[in-house]
Amino acid sequence: MKNTTNLGLSTRCIHAGDSLDGRGGIFTPLYSHSTFGFTDTKSLLDVVEGRVEGSLYTRYGLNPTIQSVERKLAAIENGEVAWVFSSGMAAESATFLAHCKTGDHIICIGDVYGGTYELLDANLPNLGILTTFLLGNEIDKLSASIKSNTRMIFFETPTNPNMEVLDIAKIANAAKKHGVLTVVDNTFATSVNQQPLALGADMVIHSTTKYLGGHSDLTGGVVIGPSKLLAPIWDWRKNLGQIMAPEVAYLLARSLRTLVIRVNAHNEAAQYLAERLVKHPRISKVNYPGLTNFNGHNLAEQQMSGFGGMISFVINGNAEEAAAVVDRLKLFSIAPSLGGVESLITQPITTTHYNLTREERTKRGIVDGMLRISVGLEDIDDLWIDLKQALK
């Protein structure tokens, strides 16, 4: 295996975790095998008892294709180890379950993915794990919200759909003072634009379904961090049976090799569109961290190296008029999800935030006229022409 320590991010995306496959193949092949054989009992025990890093059984994650993409992901996020999962939600749930038990407490800051909210708000309370939800502008209440049973602070940044930027270093610092773990969902920003571990977070989670996969053709998740914190998560993944399929791990490794150029292109295209949307007479507000007059811009400049491919904006008009804009688009597909090469649009009130009450939405600034786009990698002029005709 090539040593990629201290090498650039693109180099790590391409080479980390891969080795010649023994027949000269220049990256790790797909081992679809569910199980792996041994020539004698001693070699089996060496793997089972952890003396030798080897392959054993795919559900455990002891499969060369899975281990290879995990090494690549750890290198990309500058973490010690990475565990991959069948989905982003699987990665999150295993992380919560491994680090919180009955009677423990979690603090969730700002808007989070709908599934995450449901898990924290509806599922984990059944196990006696309760979550306090703070708005993104309530960070001053954080220290007071930390109780003796608080185990974890969880948040995304930028958030969905307001693109609110939360201060990773500040939150991690406050958490550390109380011996509480900071876990950041880095799905929106990606490892290219933001490195939460370097800013003090303990663990980072991605839905690899989004930018890391990048082609809307795989579902997966990953948690990255120090081996001490990830060891208990390994057990939960194994026994809940949440492993990423080797076929998906192979596809993900393929996608990661182009991560940097893809994300840079998403950044550039989103900046271009955001700057034009801001000037459009039918639009009252554009949320994009790359806009100099956006609320979180200065913080984003400090903690991010690019501003991402997600934009939300508010049109002057009601829910029906916003839906009509969506329906007139020809290139943007109406679809949840994000981070693929094709541009997508959603109206948060009909998809990601459908289940919230009007009151809850108002509190979170999610209005009827709001639209969210995931800017793809089509020719930027084609995207702008499509948006302009839809906004007429």
Ligand X SMILES: *Cc1c(COP(=O)(O)O)cnc(C)c1O
- The footprint of ligand X on residues 178-237 (CB under 6 A) is 185, 187-188, 207, 209-210, 219, 221
89: contact with ligand X by CB under 6 A: yes
312: contact with ligand X by CB under 6 A: no
Window contacting ligand X (CB under 6 A); options: 110-118, 296-304, 315-323, 342-350: 110-118
Residue among 65 and 352 whose Cβ is closer to ligand X: 352
Closest distance of CB 86 from ligand X, Å: 8
156: contact with ligand X by CB under 6 A: yes
CA distance 315 to 57: 52
Closest distance of CB 218 from ligand X, Å: 9
2, 21, 46, 59: the active-site residue: 59
87: contact with ligand X by CB under 6 A: yes
Q: Are 262 and 211 in contact (CB under 8 A)?
A: yes
Window contacting ligand X (CB under 6 A); options: 24-32, 62-70, 108-116, 271-279: 108-116
Cα radius of gyration (the chain): 21
**Binds ligand X (CB under 6 A): choice among 19, 33, 115, 264:** 115
Is 210 annotated as catalytic?
A: yes
12, 71, 151, 210: the active-site residue: 210
Closest distance of CB 209 from ligand X, Å: 4
**Binds ligand X (CB under 6 A): choice among 83, 96, 113, 288:** 113
Residue among 120 and 283 whose Cβ is closer to ligand X: 120
Total residues binding ligand X (CB under 6 A) = 16
* CA nearest to 14, candidates 255, 251, 210: 255
Q: Are 70 and 61 in contact (CB under 8 A)?
A: yes
Is 59 annotated as catalytic?
A: yes
Residue among 179 and 336 whose Cβ is closer to ligand X: 336
18, 104, 111, 185: the active-site residue: 185
Q: Which residues are catalytic?
A: 59, 113, 185, 210
Binding site for ligand X (CB under 6 A): 87-89, 113, 115-116, 156, 160, 185, 187-188, 207, 209-210, 219, 221
